Structure 1
């Protein structure tokens, strides 16, 4: 591959190289700075950040992932910290702020051991051991099961997730929307539960009216109007046909040249086009559908034939919307009209209607008998309010999804962090292991700080509560009330969090800290402006043996 020669490493004069302890300290500082930006966004008394994007738009949010997406950083370690918030959001949809705060604190804790000349590998080994113990504690005695059919208990858990967010004022409505959406989309097949929120729970944001008028539609809503003004706009129990092919004459695939020598030839061409469109429409009309939805175009001639047969048509519908309609009404998307069968027709939709909201027309396919897809209609005063509401609602739906998939809970308000820290400290023998246990206390400490409480006094009292807890079969539920900063015991109506979220937070935070501690060299070979691409001097080339 290299023509018989070993690969060549070129270190030019402008290649910047930092190594060893200096790089580790820089990485730790970068992680700490990112954590400091996010720290005030934890808990119900969280502050908002106002972000300006390059286009001049503004975003106001306290969602850790949304903030980090907008921040531009240069340092590679800071970029990897931002990446973990994205990972956390994609995996479980919640805990993005906690994971950054924890990872930053774990890095800062490691710094004291690096100063004592302890090798990073030893610190990493202790961190890994602590993570294994954390996972076994969380999956064992420190989490409790929840009954998925208990609506009140499920609602309390989702409510605790959105209590810290902007949408907290309308918590009951948001919880109902989240639970309804998740239970609608849930599909159980062969003992396996699948909840695909991204694909089948679409959020439609329409400015105007108030947030209280938001609702879950058991079916699909799309921003389309009928193709012809005389077509029916309200049909009960429609027979729905979904197509993925154009209802118009197919143009040549590549550059097609047609030579016309006489007037008759041109007339014959138009006749062939018309015959093709008529044949396609006859295939459709034979099955007597009430509504035809296609992802491609519908020609004027096809509209004429369909209108005569009393069929309503929608065109240029997105593929993702078509898939949702197929799942909601039980239809099959057909790619060629010649292959249409009675079994492809969707009969599961109760009502098709076109409504006007604001200045635009929207098609509703609702009252479905067994919809496995839904649309969440969000109303609000402005686009900023709607965007923030959508971000919060996505978190709520992800939390509901996590409980349905893994129905185990841990106490919130910093209680589980203190419980895990207390258990780890009893096992701890080495410095880094003990230090990692202490880092978990950053979550209750930050909650207390954000409330304006006396941090030292509150944490000392909380430690005492956990130290006096003797029942090993269940977790100690004493945590911090995020509103007032006082100690509170999380009862049945308290703050509870899904086990899945906590496990992911700890795994991601510890593994990121380990990854950044492993780095002892940063090499960047960027060219200075105006520098010519000159061949390297012999002294700058490190060559392998031939």
Structure 2
């Protein structure tokens, strides 16, 4: 029952007409989101079955980065159907085996339906990126953001031994700055050092600058005196 309640909590946030949730924590901080993983992270869950559903969302988020709400709702439906089968005196082992066979069949069907998109297929990559953002708060800027995502992926993509292109997204650093519009988002093909300037009088922009990399500090150290009497 607890797991089904968790699934119902995020059900209304799914799809193009999904609604955002307003979450208020114990400190009064407000979070507005329709992302399943974010919603479940903010909920204080104690029941073991409910915690399992939260872990489903976390795993989906870390492995794929999307589809958290769908995975939780789908898991909730499986549990609902399993409950009916148990009421019909069907052993849990039989139900589990049935789910496993269904999963194998579903994976096979999805592989047959899937369309392989290479790194040169910018249209396919862009459509995939825009689809992921259609239900998010950034949907109005999805065209521009999708282009940035594609440029970032192409910049870090490497060909694996079997000929497939692989992109390690850990090589992409995302920096957030308050005060600007989301349309001011840009891709920098380089390194960002998010540090404050030492002095207000220092120049804000330096073009074609020479960069010095040091392994030791350059501040002036005070001389230590060790006097003994």
TM tier, smaller:
0.7 to 0.9
Secondary structure of 1:202's partner? Answer: coil
Per-residue deviation at 1:71?
Answer: 0.5
The range that moved more, 224-233 or 114-123, is 224-233
> Which deviations, in whole Å up to 9, do the C-alpha atoms of 1:60-86 show, x marking residues without a partner?
000000100000111111001101100
**Unmatched 5+ stretches in structure 2:** none
Secondary structure of 2:135's partner? Answer: coil
Aligned to 2:177: 206
Measure, in 2, the Cα distance between the counterparts of 1:121 and 1:159: 41
Measure, in 1, the Cα distance between the counterparts of 2:13 and 2:200: 51
Aligned to 1:247: 218
Aligned to 1:80, which of 44, 52, 69?
52
Aligned to 1:38, which of 10, 22, 31?
10
Aligned to 1:151: 122
Asked if residue 97 in structure 1 is aligned to residue 66 in structure 2, the reply is no
Contact 1:40 1:46 in 2 (8 A): yes
Aligned to 2:41, which of 69, 81, 90?
69
Distance 1:47 1:229, change over 3 A: closer
Aligned to 2:98, which of 98, 123, 126?
126
> Which deviations, in whole Å up to 9, do the C-alpha atoms of 1:377-403 show, x marking residues without a partner?
xxxxxxxxxxxxxxxxxxxxxxxxxxx
Measure, in 2, the Cα distance between the counterparts of 1:59 and 1:30: 23
Aligned to 1:111: 83
Per-residue deviation at 1:122?
Answer: 1.0
Query: Alignment length, in residue pairs?
Result: 227
Measure, in 1, the Cα distance between the counterparts of 2:98 and 2:72: 20
Measure, in 1, the Cα distance between the counterparts of 2:99 and 2:22: 35
Secondary structure of 2:37's partner? Answer: helix
Per-residue deviation at 1:166?
Answer: 1.3
Measure, in 2, the Cα distance between the counterparts of 1:229 and 1:170: 34
TM-score (norm: length of structure 2)? 0.87
Secondary structure of 2:104's partner? Answer: helix
Per-residue deviation at 1:129?
Answer: 1.3
Aligned to 1:261: 228
Contact 1:53 1:70 in 2 (8 A): yes
Measure, in 1, the Cα distance between the counterparts of 2:219 and 2:181: 42
Per-residue deviation at 1:229?
Answer: 6.2
TM-score (norm: length of structure 1)? 0.39
> Which deviations, in whole Å up to 9, do the C-alpha atoms of 1:335-394 show, x marking residues without a partner?
xxxxxxxxxxxxxxxxxxxxxxxxxxxxxxxxxxxxxxxxxxxxxxxxxxxxxxxxxxxx
Contact 1:35 1:100 in 2 (8 A): yes
Contact 2:118 2:165 in 1 (8 A): no
**Structure of greater relative contact order (alpha carbons < 8 Å, 6+ residues apart):** 1
Asked if residue 57 in structure 1 is aligned to residue 24 in structure 2, the reply is no
Distance 1:55 1:185, change over 3 A: farther
Distance 1:132 1:240, change over 3 A: same
Secondary structure of 1:50's partner? Answer: strand
Per-residue deviation at 1:219?
Answer: 2.3
Distance 1:258 1:188, change over 3 A: farther
Asked if residue 167 in structure 1 is aligned to residue 149 in structure 2, the reply is no
> Which deviations, in whole Å up to 9, do the C-alpha atoms of 1:490-544 show, x marking residues without a partner?
xxxxxxxxxxxxxxxxxxxxxxxxxxxxxxxxxxxxxxxxxxxxxxxxxxxxxxx
Per-residue deviation at 1:137?
Answer: 2.1
> Which deviations, in whole Å up to 9, do the C-alpha atoms of 1:9-57 show, x marking residues without a partner?
xxxxxxxxxxxxxxxxxxxx11111110011111111101000122211
Secondary structure of 2:153's partner? Answer: helix
**Unmatched 5+ stretches in structure 1:** 1-28, 252-256, 263-546
Per-residue deviation at 1:188?
Answer: 4.3
Per-residue deviation at 1:136?
Answer: 1.9
Measure, in 2, the Cα distance between the counterparts of 1:232 and 1:163: 40
Per-residue deviation at 1:214?
Answer: 1.9
Distance 1:114 1:214, change over 3 A: same
Aligned to 1:222, which of 184, 189, 193?
193
Per-residue deviation at 1:167?
Answer: 1.0
